[in-house]
Structure 1
C-alpha cells in the first residue's frame, strides 16, 4: 500500500476503522466542518480521505512504515476511537526531526487550525503535541 501525496495544503485523513460506516460519515463531517470562532472566519479542515481495506487496524507505528508517494510530514487518522468520540489522531512523519511516530489527538473544532498551521509552516507538530494535556487530546491554546 502506497500512501498518496496529498493535494496542496491538504493533510491525508487515513481511515483505519471500518466497523461502522455511519460513524465514519459523522466523524468525517465533524473533522471537516467550519466552526464559528468569533471574528475569525474558518473554512473547515482540508483533509483528503484515504480509504482502503488494507489500512484496517493499522497503528501509528504501522502507518509510519508505509511507503509514500512523495513527502508527507503528518497524517490525520480516523481510528476506532475517532468513530466513538470524533477526535482525530495526528501522527508525525517529519523525517527532519527525531519525533517520527509521535502522536496526539484533537477535538474536531481544532483540526482545521492544526492542519492549516502545519501546511503553511506557521507551527510545527511538536508545538501542538507539547500543548496537549495528559489525556492526549488537544483542545486549543
Structure 2
C-alpha cells in the first residue's frame, strides 16, 4: 500500500499535484522541479510536489488510487517517472476520471505526456472545467513524439 497524500491546505483548483515515482537521478528531479516552477504567463504557478520514496516505482493506477483517497475533486495527477528524468523531462498526465472520455475517443487513453512548463496550465484548465482531459490528450497524440509542447 502506498502512503496517503495529504492535500490539507492545498487548493485543488490552483495547485497541480506532481508525484515523483522515479528516484534514479536527483539532479534530474531538481531540473524537473525548476521547469515546473517556470512562470507560464497565464496562471500563477503553484505545485504540490510529492517526493516520497513510498511512491518509487508506483504505477499510474497506484497513484490515482492514493490521489482519489486524498482529494476526489482532482481531475489529473502528474507523474515524474523514469522518462521524466531524461531528455526534455516530460511528465505523465494521468486522468483520475477515465469515464470522462468523449465517445469514440477511447483510443486516446487516460494518459499523455507534456512538458513540465505546461503542468500548471493544464491542471487549472481541467480544474475549472474550461477544457476536458481528452482535448489535451488529443493534442499530445497529434505531435510527432506524442508530447504536449504548447
Partner Cα distance (1:25, 1:117) in 2: 26
Q: Which structure features the higher share of helix residues?
A: 2
The equivalent of 1:76 in structure 2 is 78
Partner Cα distance (1:120, 1:46) in 2: 15
- After TM superposition, the score normalised by the length of structure 2 is 0.77
Partner secondary structure for residue 94 of structure 2 = strand
Q: How does 1:25-104 map to 2 (within 5 A)?
A: 25-35=30-40, 41-42=41-42, 45-66=45-66, 68-71=69-72, 72-85=74-87, 86-94=89-97, 97=100, 102-104=110-112
* Off by >6 Å, runs of 4+ in structure 1: none
Summarize the Cα distance change of 1:108–1:80 in structure 2 as closer, same or farther, 3 Å threshold. Answer: same
Is 2:143 the partner of 1:138?
no
Partner Cα distance (1:132, 1:68) in 2: 28
CA positional deviation for 1:132? 1.2
Is 2:29 the partner of 1:24?
yes
RMSD (Å) for aligned C-alpha atoms: 2.3
CA positional deviation for 1:10? 0.8
| 5+ residue gaps, structure 1 | 36-40
- In the alignment, is the contact (CA less than 8 A) between 1:75 and 1:93 conserved in 2? yes
The equivalent of 1:111 in structure 2 is 119
Q: How many residues align?
A: 134
- In the alignment, is the contact (CA less than 8 A) between 2:18 and 2:48 conserved in 1? yes
Partner secondary structure for residue 34 of structure 1 = coil
Partner Cα distance (1:4, 1:110) in 2: 24
| 5+ residue gaps, structure 2 | none
Which stretch has the larger CA shift, 14-23 or 64-73? 64-73
- After TM superposition, the score normalised by the length of structure 1 is 0.81
